[in-house]
């Protein structure tokens, strides 16, 4: 028998942890028993649904996330998630906790399909129990293969609903969504030259957006969608340019004007700054500049002589993720502006490249690359949990661009 004062201490500890977590995240939530490992908190989850698709997607999402673990009993779980299918486009989420169980939350969400409604219910469950936004109802654009040739695809988070967007049978480089999901910009070699194309997602037709002399690549929308950054070599070397996102009114302005080779610009959350790579100094390093130019400042990552492919975390602007050379391979690292310090994030046996933050500021998508395989990985920067989201059955998949749920 457990002494009564021990029971009181346990209750006080659980209540204190719950209160601290609510205060830290700024949002109330329903907290059940918490199982803590050093420095980390994960939630045990019992998964339920009478619908096979809903149970399968919910189980996979909770396994992939990194902040949850699937349990068979409420004795080891903080919550039970139950998804009921209401209609072909609606799903109801029921969250319960405790032994005996008590219902904590019930809500119906609507999507454009049954599958999308399930993903929305999963995101709701994450938000209600962790205080963080979900991302499973977002979309992914990526470079895959059709009949052995690269093409552009757009799919849901687990590569279910989606379709092939191009029939170029030519190399495609780094697709990027517009913030509202109306367009995807990418570089295509369909004409034999590296030109920037814009795919209209409503009409599923593309236009050539930039076809200047030289190479046109690395197009990326500003957070508000009004501007676009890109790298052009028509001036003699690779410089970063910024202009209007309206193809008929580009009015591009050279931001860097350096003697080095710049690449892969990404935007700050407020759209006032850019980070990109350049070989202007010793090796390839990361630099930042305002969108008005005025000079490049090196970011003191000090982790490798090769730092490239940066991505700025808009949920936590203190952090960037980027690719670094390690020996003969590549890994993903992060850099904190406040700490002035870099850390390795991944330790893949092959290469880890092309990182992009998700909307929760915690997870990253990246490409795992070996000699003959390309797979897209979901990575939890808090727990280092990794999960392959692109199925082996579709073959090579790389260069993921994420469109957050809307």
pLDDT in tens, 63-118: 999 999 999 999 999 999 999 999 999 999 999 999 999 999 999 999 999 999 99
Determine the angle formed by the axes of helices 52-65 and 114-130, rounding to 10 degrees. 40
**The two three-digit tokens of residue 384, written as one number:** 């280092």
pLDDT at 236: 86
pLDDT at 235: 79
Which of these, 302, 306, 303, lies nearest to 278 by C-alpha position?
Answer: 306
Question: DSSP letter at 345?
Answer: -
Strand 162-164 to strand 149-156: parallel, antiparallel, or no bridges (unpaired)? Answer: antiparallel
Sign for the CA dihedral angle at 12, 16, 18, 22 comes to positive
Cα distance between residue 310 and residue 307, in whole Å:
8
Confidence of residue 14 (pLDDT cuts 50, 70, 90): very low
Sheet holding 351-357, edge to edge: 351-357, 363-369, 374-380, 386-388
How many CB atoms are closer than 10 A to CB 54? 25
| Residue-wise pLDDT tens digits, 227-256 | 999 999 997 899 999 999 999 999 999 999
Per-residue pLDDT band at 7 (split at 50, 70, 90) = very low
- pLDDT tens track for 368-399: 999 999 999 999 999 999 999 999 999 999 99
Provide the token pair at 118.
């399930």
| 8 A C-beta contact, residue 406 and residue 137 | no
Residues 6+ apart with CB under 8 A from 187: 172, 173, 174, 194, 195, 196, 197, 216, 217, 218, 219
Contact 307, 284 (CB under 8 A): yes
pLDDT in tens, 141-177: 999 999 999 999 999 999 999 999 999 899 999 999 9
Class of domain 139-403: mainly beta
Each residue of 24-44: pLDDT tens digit? 333 334 333 333 333 457 999
Q: Which of 95, 83, 94, 122 is nearest to 32 (CA)?
A: 95
* CB atoms inside a 10 Å sphere around CB 400: 24
Q: Where are the alpha helices (DSSP H) in 90-211?
A: 114-130
Give the SS3 label for residue 304: coil
Helix or strand run (H / E) with residue 6: helix 4-25
Side by side, the strands of the sheet bearing 239-244 are: 216-221, 227-232, 239-244, 253-254
**Eight-state DSSP code of residue 306:** B
CA distance 336 to 316: 10
Where do the domains of the chain lie?
Answer: 4-130, 139-403
CATH classification number, 4-130, choose in 2.40.30, 1.10.10, 2.40.50, 3.30.160: 3.30.160
Q: Based on C-alpha coordinates, what's the Rg of the chain?
A: 23
Mean pLDDT of 194-213: 95
* Residue 277: half-sphere exposure toward Cβ, Cα within 13 Å: 22
pLDDT in tens, 321-345: 999 999 999 999 999 999 999 999 9
Instruction: Give CA torsion, residues 21, 25, 30, 32, to 10 deg.
Output: -30
pLDDT value for 40: 53
Tens-digit pLDDT profile for residues 291-316: 998 899 999 999 999 999 999 999 99
Q: Which residue(s) pair with 206 in the sheet?
A: 199
Q: Which of 317, 306, 158 is nearest to 223 (CA)?
A: 317
H-assigned helices in 279-402: none
CA atoms 349, 70, 39, 356: torsion sign: positive
Backbone angles phi, psi at 135, to 5 degrees: -140, 0
* Residue written as token pair 């918490």: 34
* Contact in structure between 216 and 187 (CB atoms under 8 Å): yes
Q: 205 Cβ partners below 8 Å, 6+ apart?
A: 199
């Amino acid at each position: 028998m457990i002494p009564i004062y021990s029971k009181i201490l346990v209750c006080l500890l659980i209540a204190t942890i719950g209160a601290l977590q609510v205060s830290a995240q700024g949002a109330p939530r329903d907290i059940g028993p918490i199982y803590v490992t050093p420095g980390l908190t994960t939630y045990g989850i019992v998964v339920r649904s009478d619908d096979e698709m809903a149970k399968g997607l919910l189980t996979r999402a909770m396994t992939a996330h990194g902040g949850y673990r699937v349990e068979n009993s409420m004795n080891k779980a903080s919550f039970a998630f139950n998804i009921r299918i209401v209609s072909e486009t609606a799903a109801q989420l029921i969250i319960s906790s405790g032994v005996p169980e008590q219902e904590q939350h019930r809500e119906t969400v609507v999507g454009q399909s049954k599958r999308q409604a399930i993903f929305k219910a999963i995101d709701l469950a994450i938000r209600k129990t962790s205080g963080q936004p979900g991302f499973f109802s977002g979309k992914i654009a990526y470079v895959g293969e059709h009949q052995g040739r690269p093409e552009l695809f757009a799919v849901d988070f687990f590569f279910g609903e989606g379709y092939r967007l191009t029939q170029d049978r030519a190399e495609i480089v780094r697709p990027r969504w517009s913030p509202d999901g109306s367009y995807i910009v990418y570089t295509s070699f369909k004409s034999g030259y590296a030109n920037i194309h814009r795919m209209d997602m409503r009409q599923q037709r593309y236009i050539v957006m930039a076809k200047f002399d030289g190479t046109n690549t690395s197009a990326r929308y500003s957070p508000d969608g009004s501007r676009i950054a890109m790298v052009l070599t028509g001036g003699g070397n690779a410089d970063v340019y910024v202009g209007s996102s309206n193809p008929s009114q580009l009015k591009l302005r050279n931001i860097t004007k350096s003697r080095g080779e710049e690449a892969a610009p990404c935007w700050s959350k407020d759209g006032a700054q850019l980070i990109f790579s350049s070989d202007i100094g010793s090796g390839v390093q990361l630099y930042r500049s305002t969108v008005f130019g005025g000079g490049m400042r090196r970011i003191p990552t000090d982790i490798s002589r090769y730092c490239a492919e940066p991505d700025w975390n808009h949920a936590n602007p203190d952090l960037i993720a980027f690719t670094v050379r390690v020996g003969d391979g590549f890994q993903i690292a992060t850099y904190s502006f406040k700490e002035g310090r870099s850390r390795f994030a991944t330790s893949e046996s092959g290469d880890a490249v092309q990182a992009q933050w998700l909307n929760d500021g915690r997870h990253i998508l990246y490409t795992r690359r070996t000699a003959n395989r390309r797979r897209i990985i979901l990575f939890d920067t808090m727990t280092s949990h990794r999960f392959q989201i692109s199925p082996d059955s579709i073959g090579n998949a790389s260069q993921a661009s994420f469109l957050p749920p809307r």
